[in-house]
């Protein structure tokens, strides 16, 4: 992850490099055992790129939840010394309207600088995106899905090599909701509002490095509903659970900004 959200001593064993063109690169999570998302899915998925000194030093996923707002992880922004950009229309890969938007610093809304209070962030785009249907927030009363429900996460991380290049085609992965286990002594030990996802029954164990940080965990439907924001995996190895920020716990804060 980005340096403001250091994972643990063995981070390098888990993460992939998003840029090979700079000497000092940031390391990010990868999506393992994912499949190519269909061209009809995840049109609201965006890439969030942090640039410092003219070079890409980190990349996340994100979700359009409004024509002018993106929901992503708080640790994807590491300070005003760099520039944060959002790339829309990244999926499907043959999209001809791909556009990069630079986010003014005043449009970057982190819930807290203390990520354990909430590793979640909203980005207000400098212009509306009219050609994409956003995902929606959960209805009220809002609680994260119960254990055993199946939701989907997506990302561009390398699905073949730990240090592989980002995938050109967006990868989708179905996960089963669970309560997080064994987060003690990890970077997530004191996070207040998280839940986890694991492999589906009778399916291979998924990699806990799965997905790009910031990607949305969605209940898929006629209008997709975002219940979680991917913030990482477990300590000490790829251990079969993925950690998400619980969007329901921040719904009031999100709605106040959107309104």
* pLDDT (average), residues 205-226: 79
- CA 173 – CA 256 distance, rounded (Å): 31
Q: What is the pLDDT of residue 160?
A: 58
**Share above pLDDT 90 across residues of the chain, in percent, rounded to a whole number:** 54
How many CB atoms sit inside 10 A of residue 61's CB? 31
Q: How confident is the model at residue 162 (pLDDT cuts 50, 70, 90)?
A: low
pTM for the model = 0.83
**Half-sphere exposure (CA, 13 Å, Cβ side) for 170?**
29
Q: What is the CA radius of gyration of the chain?
A: 16
Inside any domain, residue 1: no
Inside any domain, residue 63: yes
Domain span at residue 83?
A: 14-259
pLDDT higher than threshold 70 for residue 179: yes
Inside any domain, residue 169: yes
Q: How confident is the model at residue 7 (pLDDT cuts 50, 70, 90)?
A: very low
Inside any domain, residue 3: no
Inside any domain, residue 6: no
Inside any domain, residue 126: yes
- Could you tell me the CA-to-CA distances from 247 to 24, 58, 68, 117, 209 in Å, in that order? 32, 23, 18, 13, 20
pLDDT higher than threshold 50 for residue 210: no
Inside any domain, residue 222: yes
How many domains are there within the chain? 1
Q: What is the pLDDT of residue 5?
A: 36
CATH number at residue 208: 2.40.10.10
Inside any domain, residue 9: no
- Whether the upstream peptide bond of residue 218 has omega within 30° of 0, thus cis, is no
């Amino acid at each position: 992850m980005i340096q403001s959200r250091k994972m643990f001593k063995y981070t390098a064993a888990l993460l992939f490099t998003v840029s090979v063109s700079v000497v000092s690169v940031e390391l990010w999570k990868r999506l393992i055992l994912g499949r190519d998302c269909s061209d009809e899915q995840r049109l609201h998925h965006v890439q969030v790129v942090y640039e410092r000194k003219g070079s890409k030093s980190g990349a996340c996923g994100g979700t359009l939840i409004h024509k002018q707002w993106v929901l992503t992880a708080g640790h994807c922004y590491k300070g005003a010394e760099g520039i944060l950009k959002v790339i829309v229309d990244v999926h499907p890969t043959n999209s001809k309207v791909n556009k990069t938007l630079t986010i003014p610093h005043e449009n970057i809304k982190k819930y807290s600088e203390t990520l354990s209070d909430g590793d979640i962030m909203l980005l207000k785009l400098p212009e509306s995106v009219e050609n994409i249907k956003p995902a929606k927030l959960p209805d009220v009363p809002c609680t994260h899905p119960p254990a055993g429900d199946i939701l989907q996460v997506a990302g561009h991380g390398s699905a073949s090599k730990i240090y592989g290049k980002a995938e050109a085609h967006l990868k989708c992965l179905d996960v089963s909701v669970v309560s997080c286990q064994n987060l003690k002594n990890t970077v997530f030990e004191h996070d207040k509002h998280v839940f986890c996802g694991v492999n589906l029954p009778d399916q291979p164990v998924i990699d806990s490095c799965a997905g790009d940080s910031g990607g949305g965990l969605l209940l898929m439907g006629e209008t997709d509903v975002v219940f979680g924001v991917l913030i990482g995996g477990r300590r000490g190895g790829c251990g079969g659970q993925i950690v998400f920020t619980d969007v329901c716990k921040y719904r009031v804060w999100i709605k106040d900004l959107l309104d």
